[in-house]
Each structure stands twice: as structure tokens, then as C-alpha cells.
Structure 1
Amino acid sequence: MPVQTQGKDTAGEPAVRKAEAPSGPRGTTRGTTASSGRRAAAAPYLLLLPALLATLILLGWPLVKNGMLSFQNLNARQLIQHLTEWNGVENYQEALGSSEFWSVVQRTVWFTAANVVLIMLLGTLIGLLLARLGRRMRLLLMLGLVLAWAMPVIAATTVYQWLFAQRFGVVNWLLDKAGWHSMADYNWLGTQFSTFSVVTLLIVWQSVPFVAINLYAATTTVPKELYEAASLDGAGAWTSFTSVTFPFLRPFLYATTFLEVIWVFKAFPQIFAINEGGPDRLTETLPIYAFVEGVGNQHFGMGAAISFLTILVLIVITSYYLRAVIKQEEDEL
């Protein structure tokens, strides 16, 4: 009769075994985990590396070259003879000591502020209108907005030149037919105010679609239950907007305003193509001023210095805006 061995397996070893020791050193598993964690943490930076390299090559290197040029005395003679004449900070001293430069800075700031206010106001109203329209009317209005937004800048500027032409412009013709006969041959580009009015209308017309469409998209994130609760509490349209809609749209409005400040501040083709900063250079903003002083007057070092100062002014404006936004958000918390 065979003898049974209790607690033994077929090989004669104990059925219950101790956990086998790892085949490698004790720190191997821990080291592998740490290495995997480092690779996972570095993955986003590796994915961003191509974009960062392209930014450094396409933007960083021209910025460095422009900075070097701003410390040189470079005009037609130096350019033809391939001479490099370093003059230190003379270009910056000359620009900052010029009353014309500060006049252009003030003009640029007011021009930017007026355009951004109009863009955000009209864009917000149209975005809210899109949220209330029916499907077909909304699609039709959005199609018109997209077409206006997609039109090339120079093409849109040329259309506005035709519209506001002195002799054969559509605007003057319509005003004449409406009874304002003195406007039949009005020169819209003859004064500073009228020229800026045409340019402002053009920039606002090109910028409103971006604000309106994105604001409409933001309104779709507002829960419908909040509107129902507000209506049950007796809130009207204005109260519903201030208490329900606006808190959800506030981050979008802050970000969009920031982008519009940058876009309007650096607007170049609209102003230059309309009247090249005229009449009498009274509609030059900082980008136009840098171009005229650099390329127009063939003082490329001065133009480079003014362009750098333009960047600094824009940084100051946007920093002040971001600081105000952050402070307001902290106060609300």
C-alpha cells in the first residue's frame, strides 16, 4: 500500500512555499519604476521640442539680429559697403529723446484702446445674439462672420479704399442720395480723425467675427438649469446675464481682450495700405513709425531700435492688463 506524503507536491517539495526572491538585485524594480516616471514626465517636453525649435529659429534668431542692428549706425552707405558701425545706445537715446516718438506712443495707445472697446462690445452683443437665434438664422449669420474673418487683410483694405473713395466711393454716393450733398466729394483720408475712422471701421469689421463666434461657443457651456433657476427667482434678461452668463464668460472675455490688444496694437497693413500713415504722418502708429524711420528714411538701426521699444511698450500694456485681471480675480475669491 503506497504511503501518502501529506503536504508534499508531486516533486516531493512542500506544497506551501515561501515567496521566491527576485531574480535580480533588490533595487532593480524600484529603479525601473523611477526611470519610467522620469520618461513620462519628460514626454510633454519632448513633444513640445519641435515647436520650440521652430519658434527659436523663426522668431528668436530674427529678434536677436534685430537687437544687434538696433545698436548700429546702418544706412544706405554702410549697407552697400558692408560696413558695421556700432554706435551703442545712440539710436535709443535719439528715439526716447524725440517728442515725435512719444506722440506716436500716445496715439497708438488711444487707437488701440478705442478699437478694443468697440471690438469687444460689438463682438459680445453679436455672440449673445447668435445664442438666441434659430438654427437657420444662426447658420446664416455665422457664415457671414466667417467670410468677413477669412478675407485677406490687403483685400479687405482695398475694398474699403473703394468704398470710401472721394469721387466714386459707394459711401459718398449713398450719403449724397440720402440728402447729405456736401458729402458727395468728401475726402475721407484728408484728416486725421476721418482716416482713423475708416481704419477703425476696417479693423473692427475684421475682428468682431473672432470674438462673436468664440463667445457664442462659450455660451453653450452655461448650464441651462441656471437660467431656469434664475427665471423662477424672477430674474429678468439683464439680471440673468449679470448673474449667470457673465460669470461663465468672464475668463473668455479676459483672454480675448488680451489677444485683441496685441492684434490691434501691432496692426500694420490696414493703416499703411489705407494712407501710409498720412495725412502728414498724423495716423502713424508705432509699427508704421518704425517702418517709415527704418526703411523709408534708410536708417535701419533707428528702425530696429523703435521696433524694440514698440515691443517694450506692448509688454508694459499687457503686463498692466494682466495684473489688473489677476488682482480682480483674487478680490472675487
Structure 2
Amino acid sequence: MAVQLDGAAAAMDQAAARTGTSGTPGRSGTPPGGRDRRRRRATPYLLLLPALLATAVFLGWPMVRNLLLSFQNLNMKELIQHLTEWRGTGNYQEILGSEQFWRVTLRTIVFTAVNVVLIMVLGVLIGLLLARLGKKMRLTLSVALVLAWAMPVIAATTVFQWLFDSRYGVVNWVLDRLGWHSMANYDWVGTQLSTFFVITVLIVWHSLPFVALNLYAATTTIPRELYEAARMDGAGTWRVFTSVTFPFLRPFFLATTFLEVIWVFKAFPQIFAINEGGPDRLTETLPIYAFTEGVGNLHFGMGAAISLLTIVVLLAMTAYYLRLTLRHEDQEEDAL
């Protein structure tokens, strides 16, 4: 009898080895532990499913529609008569062969680079200032930054239009009082450089709080012992920043710069509300150019194609930035 039981147990072990299971299976032939593991592995994907569905509906579908529209010749006639006239790659060929598109692209890249550099430099300086101020002054400056950051874009743009108004603007009045009388009735949106100056001041002013407050929050995570050790070694302010603050907060700088490039590149309401890309379309960036061609000139297929090319240019810029960042990190790892 014992021999028979031993043989039955050996047969069960062999069957379990062949099926890849052990222990007592459930009713469905799957061990309870296996079902629990699969359930735990599927939980993150189930939690992400609503966000993925919302992204597919509100972002993916409009992108697909925009892509289809970019291959069509859709003007007011086709829109009213509900006609679909396919043009193939004609819109892209016309845009890429246009000198205007390349001028606007170069202008957009330069505009983005100037704004991002100013935002990062000034934001870092204000963030470091916050870390050095006392509690009351830090609270006052933080509240002011939050209020500036919370102001709606159109409201902020309207305020800047009042400030730089040629007849009643505060800026011209102050400059006139300071003895610069030629600026008493100066038209700030009359030339390309002056218009870009106003837009740059607006965008930098609106973006500084994000960088400054995040940098200050990041500095609170740096151990104070590192600063004390640097001071004991005789390091000055600049040396402390380059040796302690910047290396420790390198991920913050990389991520913030990446976000600022995206936000400044796609800036639309500030530029459009100030002067609608004028004068003479000399301050148009790619988002303004796409809107003007698509909605302003009623060339909807052309505007869709420009918007997709704008995304391609932005992806190329961010890919180049990430490539430089990864290469720099690899060189540092090799040096270590």
C-alpha cells in the first residue's frame, strides 16, 4: 500500500513538472498564486486605461483629423459645399518650397532660444535669492510670483498693451519723465524689434515664477553639510553654485529647460494679441503662421499642413536637446 502511495505521489510530481505548476490547482487549473500575480501585473495598466482613452479621444483623434485635412484642398468653397478634394502632398510641397516658411521657422527658433535663456538665467537668480531671504521677505516675494504666474495669459497681455501704449502707456510716460523725450509717443508695435521686445518681456515675466519657485523648492533638498564643506574650503558664491548647487540640481535644470522650450515655442496668445504677428507679418512664429494661413486666409488644408510641420520642427529641436543631454551625461559617467 505504501509503495502504491509513493508511486501516485511520484506521478503527480511528474505531471506538475510537465505542466509547469505545483501545488493544488484551482477549479480552472490555474494556481491561486498565479492568478494573484497576473492581477497585480494588470492593475497598473487598468489604472492607466482611463488616461490613455482620454488622450486617444481628445488628442489622438484631432491629430488624425488634422493629418487627413493636410492632404486636402479645403477652402471656403469646399467647406460650404461639403466637398472633399484630395491634393496629396501638394500642401507640403508648396509650404516647403516657400521662402516664407523657412524665414518663419528660423525666426521661431531664435525667438525660442532667446526667451528660454532669459527665463532660465533670471529664474535661477530669483530662485537663489529666495533661498537666501528671510521668512517674511521670502513669503512676500513668493506671493508676488504666484500672483504673476496665476494671471491669465490674455489678461496679462492686455495689461502689457496698456503699459506700452504709444499715447497713454506708463512706459512712455516714465521714459519721457526721465529725459528720454523722443519716447513720449513711441509706437512699441510699429517695428519688428520693438514688438518682439514687448512680447519677450511679457513671456519672460509670465514664465519666471515657475522656474524660480521650482528652483527654490529644489534647493531645499540639498544637504546643508555640502554648503558648509564648500565654504570651509574657501569657495565663493559662484564656486558654490557650480560645485554644489548645479551638479545636485542638474535633473531639474534639464527638465525645466525642456519644458520651457516647448512652452515658448508654441506661444500663441501673447504674440497674436499684441499685434497679430505684425507689423507686416514680421513677428509671426510658426503657430501664428499656421493660424493666419489656415483661418485668416481660409486655406484650412494649408494651415493643417503647417501645424503638423510645426510639430515636426518642435520634435526635432527637443530630440536634438535630449541627444546633447544624454551625450553629456555619458561623458560624465565615463570620466567617473
- TM-score scaled by structure 2? 0.91
Number of the residue aligned with 1:57: 57
1:28 is paired with a residue whose SS is coil
CA contact (8 A) 2:23 2:31 kept: no
Number of the residue aligned with 1:212: 212
The one-letter code of the counterpart of 1:263 is W
The one-letter code of the counterpart of 1:126 is I
Which shifted more, 242-251 or 291-300?
Answer: 242-251
Number of the residue aligned with 2:131: 131
Render the CA deviation track for 1:179-211: whole Å, top value 9, x for unaligned: 000000000000000000000000000000000
The one-letter code of the counterpart of 1:246 is F
Number of the residue aligned with 2:266: 266
2:167 is paired with a residue whose SS is coil
Number of the residue aligned with 1:319: 319
**Larger helix fraction of residues:** 2
2:159 is paired with a residue whose SS is helix
Q: Does 1:256 align with 2:256?
A: yes
The one-letter code of the counterpart of 2:166 is Q
The one-letter code of the counterpart of 2:148 is A
The one-letter code of the counterpart of 1:74 is L
The one-letter code of the counterpart of 1:95 is I
1:88 is paired with a residue whose SS is coil
Q: Find runs of 4+ consecutive structure 1 residues off by over 6 angstroms.
A: none
**In the aligned structure 2, how far is the partner of 1:27 from the partner of 1:118?**
67
Render the CA deviation track for 1:210-239: whole Å, top value 9, x for unaligned: 000000000000001111111222222221
Number of the residue aligned with 1:305: 305
Render the CA deviation track for 1:146-194: whole Å, top value 9, x for unaligned: 0000000000000000000001100000000000000000000000000
2:31 is paired with a residue whose SS is helix
**In the aligned structure 2, how far is the partner of 1:260 from the partner of 1:235?**
31
Gaps of 5+ in 2: 1-11, 13-21
Report 1:139-288 matches (<5 A). 139-288=139-288
Number of the residue aligned with 1:5: none
Number of the residue aligned with 1:42: 42
CA contact (8 A) 2:73 2:85 kept: yes
Q: Structure 1 residue 27: deviation in Å?
A: 4.6
Larger Rg: 1
Render the CA deviation track for 1:106-129: whole Å, top value 9, x for unaligned: 000000000000000000000000
The one-letter code of the counterpart of 1:89 is T
Render the CA deviation track for 1:65-123: whole Å, top value 9, x for unaligned: 00000000000000000000001000000000000000000000000000000000000
CA contact (8 A) 2:71 2:86 kept: yes
Q: Does 1:28 align with 2:45?
A: no
The one-letter code of the counterpart of 1:226 is L
**In the aligned structure 1, how far is the partner of 2:235 from the partner of 2:183?**
47
The one-letter code of the counterpart of 2:86 is W
Which shifted more, 267-276 or 39-48?
Answer: 39-48
User: How much identity, in percent, do the aligned residues show?
Assistant: 71
**In the aligned structure 1, how far is the partner of 2:203 from the partner of 2:232?**
42
- TM-score scaled by structure 1? 0.91
